Every structure is written in C-alpha cells, then in structure tokens.
C-alpha cells in the first residue's frame, strides 16, 4: 500500500506548537502514527510529531462521536482524525496492538450515545408529561368551574348558533304546534335543576326525526319528530332529555372540549367574548348531536327525574325510543334522533331500571289533542 493511501487529514494538540493546535496530515508508519503539521505564514518550519502504536491511548469523541483521538500516556501530545477509514487502517497498521483499545473506545462511545439518547428520551417524556399535566389540569379546573360561568354566555352561544346554522326548513309559527310544545315546556321547566334557564323552542318544518338543545336553552324541534311521536308525553320525554343537556351545561362543555386549551384558559380567566363567537361556530352545524356517551346517559337520567317530578310518565321517553327502533329502517334525513343517540336498547333498559326505583306517583296526562298535532305535521 502506498504512503499516500495511508495518509489522512487530521490535526494535533501539543504544547510544542504556537497556539497549542494545528491542522496536520497523519500517516501510518510501520511502528507509529506520524503527523506532519501544516505550515502557516508565521511558521515556515514543518513539524513532524509522532506516537508509537505501543504508547497510544485511544479514544472516540468529538462533536459527532466519530473523531479518533490518539494520545500519549501523559497527554502532552494528541493526534486526531475523523477521516473515513482512519480507524480501520490504524488497526491494520498497528498489527493488532490497538485492536483492544479501539474496541473499548467504540464500546464506550456506544454507551455514551445510549446514555445520551436515554437521557434525551427521558427529558422528552418528562416535558411531554408536564405539558399533558398542565393541559389536563387546566381542562379539569375549567370543567369543574363551568357552573361559575354566567348563564348569559350559554344563551349568547345558543342564540348566535341558531342564527348561523342551516336549520333545514322554515320555522313554524302555527299556534296549534307552538302552543302544544310550549305547554309541555311549561310543565317541565319548574323541575329544571339549574336556576335562571329560559327555554326558547323553535319548531322547524322538515321531515327530519330530530331535536337538539343549543347552549342556554335554545331548543330546535322538527315536525318529522312530532309526526312520529305517539303522544304528547313521548315528546315531553324528548324535550326533558334536551332540557337536561342545557341544565347540565353540556353545550358549554362541548365548546370547551372542541376549542381545546385556549377555551379552558379563557373560561378560567373570565374572557367570555371569544368563547361566545367561537362557540357559535362550533354549534353552527348542529354538532351538539355528538355529545359523549356519558353526557347522553346523564341527560337520560336527569330527563327521567324531571318527568317524574312534573307528574309525566317517564316511561314515555323509553316508548319514544321503542317507536324509533321499530321505524329505524325507514327514517329519512341524514340527521335523525335515533342515529345521533346510539345504544338505544341499553338506554331503554336503563330508563326502566331507574323508573322502577322511583317512588310511586300518579302521572297526569298533558291534555293535548296529539292527533291534531300529528295531522298538521303529516300535511304536505
């Protein structure tokens, strides 16, 4: 092998050199590594420094962990190179004298890298854990403080959302329907657990079997649901469920969850203006129908309580679910009360169980001619 082949770019640390460091060409002689120090304008003399293979102390390191350092025992002289193939050719030229030191240096470097990566991973996990703790901590505090937010915030969100959303049909103002629905709401409203709620019901003429309650008590009820309900009491069950969503302030919780940490922080500091605007956008497309399973179950339970307290048979809610289950195959429209409220069989069973544990009570009919309401709703 030629001398040029065994020459590698590198450098030298030595007290013998001005400044203690200089670039060098390293070549591998028969018994040693020789460094020819590059000259500069202030030092025209070419220095040659060397270390015998038998005296080398080998280490790996540098900014990339791949620089080979060769040092004397007293560390007065250090030669180094990161050139490709330098370590391999060094091992060959040394005739086995540096095999063990090179292996040891490689193993040490790998351990250092592993420790560094482990420390980095641990730090990343700690930072991520801290951020998650802050995120969920703030969200939890915000969630528990929902009831301290003025109800006016809910009302503004619901009112603006109603104006923004595509409701799917014209609003009905016929007293035959509006008076009947208002009579049901008036019967249920005194049993609402949250003080200060006002319910504003809008009946929309569309063959959609759906109803939903926006934050603050704005309720949307479709004529498609009215014509499928077998009685006024079944509609009372639906309205009690939707009113319970407003009472439990599920809508405001949905806004906080949809908008994330920013909403939680704004709720905590009492900055409600942005929440109102953003919340109205959240509900613009009636995304209220994506309540969580826990919220749906809670609205069922609270609705049954309200019905019982208002002397309306709470099994009417279960009977409406049963009616929808029988007609599920033929329900029109993309948004149906059945499709947006999953697991009806389990919910019917839960209602029956809850009703079975209620104290005895005489239930009073609503006194609404439901046949006339259904006929109006069926008319073209």
Tell me the CATH number at 69. Answer: 2.30.29
End position of a domain, from candidates 110, 140, 159: 110
* Nearest-angstrom CA–CA distance, 236 and 49: 98
Are 34 and 158 part of one and the same domain? no
* Nearest-angstrom CA–CA distance, 296 and 288: 11
Q: What is the CA radius of gyration of the chain?
A: 39
Are 160 and 20 part of one and the same domain? no
What total of structural domains would you count in the chain?
A: 2
* Nearest-angstrom CA–CA distance, 238 and 40: 92
Residue 197 within any structural domain of the chain: yes
What is the DSSP code (8-state) at residue 40? B
pLDDT tens digits, residue range 274-305?
A: 666 666 666 665 544 567 788 889 999 999 99
Are 215 and 270 part of one and the same domain? yes
Are 73 and 154 part of one and the same domain? no
Are 176 and 249 part of one and the same domain? yes
Are 262 and 203 part of one and the same domain? yes
Kindly report the length of the chain.
380
Helix segments in the chain, DSSP class H:
86-93, 99-144, 151-164, 175-188, 223-228, 232-247, 250-259, 261-269, 273-282, 293-309, 315-327, 344-356, 370-378
Q: What pLDDT score was predicted for residue 26? A: 93
Are 203 and 54 part of one and the same domain? no
Which structure tokens are listed for 347? 């919910």
Q: What pLDDT score was predicted for residue 288? A: 47
For 296, half-sphere exposure in the C-beta direction (CA atoms, 13 angstrom radius) is 19
Residue 143 within any structural domain of the chain: no
**Contact criterion met (CB below 8 Å) for 200 and 221:** no
Are 35 and 159 part of one and the same domain? no
Residue 349 within any structural domain of the chain: yes
Point out the residues of the chain with pLDDT beneath 50: 1-4, 41, 131, 133-135, 137-138, 141, 287-288, 329-340
Residue 128 within any structural domain of the chain: no
Residue 1 within any structural domain of the chain: no
Are 238 and 309 part of one and the same domain? yes
Please name the residues in contact with 221: beta carbons below 8 A apart, sequence gap of 6 or more.
181, 201, 202, 203, 204, 211, 235, 238, 239
* Nearest-angstrom CA–CA distance, 265 and 141: 9
Are 369 and 264 part of one and the same domain? yes
Using CA of residue 35, residue 39, residue 42, residue 43, what is the dihedral sign? positive
Residue 324 within any structural domain of the chain: yes
- What range defines the domain where residue 44 resides? 7-110
**Contact criterion met (CB below 8 Å) for 216 and 246:** yes
Phi-psi region of 217 (alpha: psi -120 to 50; beta: other; left: phi over 0): left
Q: What pLDDT score was predicted for residue 380? A: 65
**Contact criterion met (CB below 8 Å) for 307 and 185:** no
End position of a domain, from candidates 110, 138, 170: 110
Q: Name the pairing type of β-strands 67-71 and 77-81.
A: antiparallel
Are 157 and 277 part of one and the same domain? yes
Are 106 and 156 part of one and the same domain? no
Burial class from Cβ neighbours inside 10 Å (0-12, 13-18, 19+) for residue 211 reads buried
Residue 132 within any structural domain of the chain: no
**Contact criterion met (CB below 8 Å) for 4 and 89:** no
Q: What pLDDT score was predicted for residue 202? A: 96
Angle value at C-alpha 336, between 180 and 163, nearest 5 degrees:
65
* Nearest-angstrom CA–CA distance, 361 and 311: 7
Residue 134 within any structural domain of the chain: no
End position of a domain, from candidates 91, 110, 129: 110
């Amino acid at each position: 092998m030629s001398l040029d082949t065994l020459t590698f770019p590198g450098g030298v640390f030595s007290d013998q050199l001005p400044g203690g460091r200089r670039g060098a060409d390293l070549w591998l002689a028969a018994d040693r590594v020789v460094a020819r120090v590059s000259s500069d304008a202030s030092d025209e003399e070419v220095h040659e420094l060397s270390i015998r293979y038998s005296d080398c102390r080998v280490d790996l390191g540098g900014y990339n962990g791949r620089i080979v350092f060769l040092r004397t025992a007293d560390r007065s002289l250090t030669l180094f190179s990161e050139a490709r193939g330098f370590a391999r050719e060094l091992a060959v030229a040394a005739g086995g004298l540096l095999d063990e030191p090179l292996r040891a240096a490689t193993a040490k470097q790998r351990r250092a890298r592993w420790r560094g990566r482990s420390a980095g991973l641990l730090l990343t996990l700690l930072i991520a854990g801290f951020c998650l703790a802050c995120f969920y901590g703030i969200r939890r505090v915000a969630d528990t403080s929902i009831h301290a937010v003025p109800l006016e915030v809910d009302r503004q969100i619901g009112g603006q959302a109603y104006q923004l959303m595509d409701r799917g049909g014209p609003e009905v103002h016929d007293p035959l329907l509006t008076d009947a629905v208002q009579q049901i709401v008036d019967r249920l409203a005194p049993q609402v657990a949250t003080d200060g709620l006002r319910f504003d019901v809008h009946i929309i003429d569309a063959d959609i079997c759906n109803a939903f309650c926006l934050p603050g008590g704005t309720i949307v009820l479709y004529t498609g649901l009215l014509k499928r309900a077998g009685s006024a009491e079944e509609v009372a069950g639906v309205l009690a469920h939707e009113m319970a969503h407003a009472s439990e302030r599920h809508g405001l919780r949905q806004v906080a969850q949809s908008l994330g940490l920013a909403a939680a922080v704004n709720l905590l500091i009492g900055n409600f203006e942005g929440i109102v605007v953003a919340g109205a956008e959240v509900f613009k497309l009636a995304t209220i129908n994506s309540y969580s399973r826990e919220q749906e179950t809670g609205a069922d339970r609270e609705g049954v309580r309200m019905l019982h307290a208002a002397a309306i048979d709470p099994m009417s809610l279960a009977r409406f679910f049963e009616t929808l289950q029988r007609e599920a195959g033929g329900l029109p429209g993309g948004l149906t009360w059945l499709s947006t409220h999953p697991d009806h069989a389990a919910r019917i069973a839960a209602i029956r169980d809850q009703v079975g544990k209620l104290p005895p009570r005489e239930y009073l009919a609503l006194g609404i001619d439901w046949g006339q309401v259904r006929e109006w709703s069926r008319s073209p």
